[in-house]
Amino acid sequence: MDQLTQLASNFPVLRKLQQKTNNKVKQEHILLIVIALSIITIVFLPVASLVSNVLCVVIPFQRTVRLLIANKPPTLDLVVFWMTFGLLCVVDSALIVTRIVPFYYIFKMVAMNAIVLDGRVSRFLVDGYKRMGFLVEEDVGKRAKEAVEVLKEKSKHLKGELDEMKDK
């Protein structure tokens, strides 16, 4: 229940709803109601994709906007989330996958929220993305310096060739 309380604290609207009920309904219970209604909506209504995508991006969108406003770089879990979300949006467009895999959108919603809420999931995905070649750890500054040196050498070589051509 502590994890549910911690999760509910991420949504100020739940605290406001709790206050509207004169604290008779706790924000954790409101969150459980929202989750249950979301699952029912995803399973029984044809708007599963929309509901799933909206519920997947609420927390990451808030965190991303906060980082952008603070002019800070994105965290690894957010980068992994947006990469995975993009890949799953491509999968969503293949209707055959969503028709063959039962409860695909519920799986997607749970998996995407696990990436943001549990650091172990994002680290697991980072390892997978590295193995597939999507993420490459490099020292960008070192690579940039090497590129500058290569360009300097090439320009010296080209200047030498131009001087030789002028002399002929």
Domain ranges of the chain: 1-44, 56-137, 140-167
Burial (0-12, 13-18, 19+ Cβ within 10 Å), 96: exposed
Task: Grade residue 47 by pLDDT with cuts at 50, 70 and 90.
Answer: confident
Q: What is the mean pLDDT of residues 36-54?
A: 79
**Tokens 């002019």 -> residue:** 71
Is a pLDDT exceeding 70 seen at residue 142? no
Who wins on pLDDT, 28 or 95?
28
What pLDDT was estimated at residue 46? 76
Q: State how far the Cα of 10 lies from the Cα of 31, in Å rounded to an integer.
A: 11
**Smallest Cα–Cα separation from 84: which of 134, 47, 44, 133?**
134
Q: What is the DSSP letter of 11?
A: -
Q: In this structure, are residues 129 and 80 in contact, taking their beta carbons and an 8 Å threshold?
A: yes
Proportion of the chain above pLDDT 70, given as a percent: 92
Q: Where are the alpha helices (DSSP H) in 9-139?
A: 12-20, 27-44, 48-69, 76-93, 95-100, 104-117, 119-132
Model pTM?
A: 0.57
> Mean pLDDT, the chain, as a whole number?
79
Q: In this structure, are residues 60 and 83 in contact, taking their beta carbons and an 8 Å threshold?
A: no
For the four alpha carbons of 69, 75, 135 and 115, in that order, the dihedral sign comes to: negative
